[in-house]
Amino acid sequence: MHLLKSRIALAVASAIALQPMAYAAKVTLQPAGQGPDTSAYINDPAKDPVIPTATLQKLLQQKIKYVFVIFNENRSFDSEYGTFPGVNGLYSDGQNPRPPGSTPGFAQSFTDPLTGNTLSVQPFRIGPSQYANVVDSVDHSHTGLASKLHVVNGIAQMDGFAQDEFTGKAGAAPTLASAQKGAQYANLVMSHVDCDTIPMYWQWASNFTIFDNIFATEDTPSTPNAVAMIAGQSGETQWVKHPSTTSNATATGITAPTYGNFLQGGVVTSEASAASTTQGPPLVNDPQPYYGSEFDTTPGLSATGIVTPPRLPYGPNESYAKSNIASNLTFASVPLTLMGNTITATLAQNTAFLAGSLFDVGDIQLDIPYIQSLNRPAVDWRWYQNGYGLENTDNGGTASHAAFVSHHQGPQYFGYLANTPSQAAKLKSETQFFTDIANGQLPQGGVIYIRGGYASQLGLVPYTTGMPTAQATAVAAAKAGDDNHPSYSDHYLSQAMNASVINAIAGNPALWKQSAIILTYDESDGFYDHVPPRILSYGPDGLPLSRGIRVPLLLISPYSRTHAVSHAEGDHNAVIQTINAIFNLPALASLPDEAQALAAGNSAYFNQFGPAGFQQQYLGPRDINSPVTDSLLSGFDPKRLLGISPPLPNTYAMIDPKYFTQANLPFASNGLSCKSLNFTPVAPASDSVVPNGFNPLPGTYPAASNFTNF
């Protein structure tokens, strides 16, 4: 492969302002007597043996051969764990109660222009009686999230959630109906659930380690954070190399002719047309991947004599408007570093490169020889996603892709993965995950990502018992998904999917002994959370780019701490740092192309997009420990890694599969609830009641507010 020669000798750490620090972060124990009885397995973090970071990493490399990332959708930390005992939540800092006045954004207000009245809302709990399993999605657009953070003098105030929802839903010229809808959303955004709605998550959080200081990498909707899960960024490196501006935000976009037909909503639409322009990075919206879109000309092309692979699958229920396609992403990712000393040979197979083009590899020209020069063995990976291939819910042995949420498929955005046959083959269906485990066909170690989609692969349907017929019909049609996204998923179905994945891993004792499972989310959906994220960067639109709102993260492993809370600060880069440590990978931020961009980003040109005096030190990945970012290593128990304490048993992670059946929904009525798990959620300092007429479905079923059970 004739790639440009590397200029490897770069002053990496100093150039990007990421300095090494000790791995250990503050870890506290959850209160005794809360949740399942974990007393036999608890080790006090205050009595940890002192282990150097390098020794800890060696122990992890010896013990753990698989990292599984269960990657859910769209929940803020407070919306799921705001009353979990021992965490920095809505009503407590984890150790002591916290009054509302000391909680950022706790009391929010919005003005109804029709009446002139100022209405207020504060956090409140919803549960099975409010059908908390099927709430609607709130505003999680890039601009909406910026409004919700409400950054003043560099500090997010966290007080714009209710006003953003009301203004966005009521409209510029509100009617009575739109104002009522806006008020419903302003209430919904402040709601939260507990162990009566998500008992499986709370059980794992008690049995293992919960992290309460992890944020979305980008202050954006899903796609940028799906990309950030494997790259630590949404394209800041590519933006620095090919600048766009506030007046020309698509300068990094690709102008090209579109090509082909797409089935959308059951209707075939032709996208063949004159040239259009893709969305250039950094990505801040939810565009579709370039490969698999109408810009992708790979199918049937053989002008150079090369037989090209078929176009990758696309989601027939997704938007493929020509303005909604991402540019080909060309910066480094974890799958790139996983190639190790096979990287040159692997990327020699890239279809564009074989045709004489650097289209897919142009911005990693220095990274490729650097990774090759490290001479570290390749590590395998997989990305299993609902609907990508043949699912057990498909009929006739043909993949329908009906459940495929293509804008969640992180690797498909990168041409050097999607357009390299050996790498594209690592993208598989959700059903295939279970088949591969059952048949012993997982790779011999590696990084495994699992994502849900628009339908339950367990055959479950949304829980609607007791709803009026019209409402139940609307919910059944809208909420059949299993990735926890409130737009189209049911909380019960999503938990069952997560539990079936964990059961499949833990049900194989040999696999369990070699595994670390990270259960986390892409972004918050815009639900209220009280912890201000650090504002680390601004994008070409002048809005905060990183970080976004806090999200949940659990570490589940035989070597995890139990009944513990880690307060390590980070985002999706924390997941990448942990993968780097376990598989001895170079940090993405240390790669030559990324290091160059991180250094170049802190310049007058890019600093202009932030407020006066702001420095763009983080326009790229940040998977090196520093005062602003940490790994997940604090969630592992040194005594278990050293053999002083035994590993946690596989049964400790498993959920009774009876809860994967329709007959045992809702969980709280069938033996899995706060009471059965022995949880007493943290109580508010003042009344926190469900507002009168509250409707969790103001978009799906507006009339629900007329029913007394809502």
Looking at per-residue pLDDT, the higher value among 448 and 684 belongs to 448
Q: CB–CB of 703/709 below 8 Å?
A: no
Any idea which of 52-61, 297-306, 650-659 has the lowest mean pLDDT?
297-306
Tell me how long the chain is: 710
Q: How far apart are the first and last CA of the chain?
A: 64
For 244, list phi and psi in degrees, rounded to 5.
-115, 165
Q: Mark out the alpha helices in 208-294 (DSSP H runs).
A: 222-231, 236-241
* Residues 304/321, Cβ–Cβ less than 8 Å: no
C-alpha 306 chain-centroid distance: 37
pLDDT, tens only, 421-437? 999 999 999 999 999 99
Per-domain residue ranges for the chain?
A: 12-229+259-310+323-684
- pLDDT tier at 10 (50, 70, 90 boundaries)? very low
CA distance linking residue 418 with residue 304, whole number of Å = 20
Rounded to an integer, the average pLDDT of 240-261 is 74
Mean pLDDT score, 70-78: 98
Residue 272 confidence (pLDDT): 67
Q: 317: Cβ–Cβ under 8 A, 6 or more apart, which residues? A: 264, 265, 402, 404, 454
The number of beta carbons lying within 10 Å of the beta carbon of residue 333 is 25
> Which one has a higher pLDDT value, 395 or 271?
395
| Residues 335, 340, 344, 348, CA torsion sign | negative
Instruction: Give the pLDDT mean for 162-191.
Output: 93
> Could you tell me if 45 and 29 are in contact, meaning their C-beta atoms sit under 8 angstroms apart?
yes
What is the reported pLDDT for 685? 67
Residues 254-299: pLDDT tens digits? Answer: 788 777 666 666 666 666 677 888 998 999 999 999 998 888 877 5
Q: What is the pLDDT of residue 134?
A: 96
pLDDT of 11:
32
The DSSP letter of residue 215 is B
8 A C-beta contact, residue 536 and residue 87:
no
Q: Given this model, what pLDDT does residue 308 score?
A: 42
Question: For residue 383, what are its two tokens?
Answer: 């990305």
**pLDDT of 25 above 90:** no
DSSP secondary structure, 620-646, as one string = S---S-BTTB--SGGGB-HHHHHTSSP
CA distances from 1 to 6, 173, 356, 357 (A): 13, 60, 11, 12
Lowest-pLDDT range of 71-75, 240-244, 332-336, 361-365: 240-244
Q: Is 169 exposed, middle or buried (0-12, 13-18, 19+ CB in 10 A)?
A: buried
Q: Are 696 and 126 in contact (CB under 8 A)?
A: yes
**The pLDDT value given to residue 261:** 66
Is the pLDDT at 300 greater than 70? The verdict is: no
Q: Say if residues 68 and 382 touch (Cβ distance below 8 Å).
A: no
Above 90 in pLDDT, residue 321?
no
Residue 707 in this model has a pLDDT that exceeds 60: no
User: What's residue 302's pLDDT?
Assistant: 34
Interior/surface letters 571-610, b for 16+ CB within 10 angstroms, e for the rest? bbbbbbbbbbbbbebbbbbbbbbbbbbbbbbbeeebbebb
Is it the case that residue 20 has pLDDT exceeding 60? no
Topology, domain 12-229+259-310+323-684: Alkaline Phosphatase, subunit A (3.40.720)
Q: Which of 132-141, 249-258, 521-530, 632-641 has the lowest mean pLDDT?
A: 249-258
Higher pLDDT, 294 or 331: 331
* pLDDT, the chain, mean: 90
Q: Kindly report which listed range (305-314, 656-665, 686-695) carries the lowest average pLDDT score.
A: 305-314
Instruction: Find the mean pLDDT for residues 183-202.
Output: 97
Q: What is the pLDDT of residue 258?
A: 77
Q: Is the pLDDT of residue 301 over 70?
A: no
Q: Report the pLDDT value the prediction gives residue 266, as an integer from 0 to 100.
A: 63
Chain position carrying tokens 């953070």? 149
pLDDT of residue 248: 65
Residue 477's CB: how many other CB atoms inside 10 A?
A: 11
Which residue from 190, 82, 89 is spatially nearest to 138, judged by alpha carbons?
Answer: 190
C-alpha distances out from residue 257 to 3, 295, 298, 495, 595, Å? 28, 6, 13, 42, 34
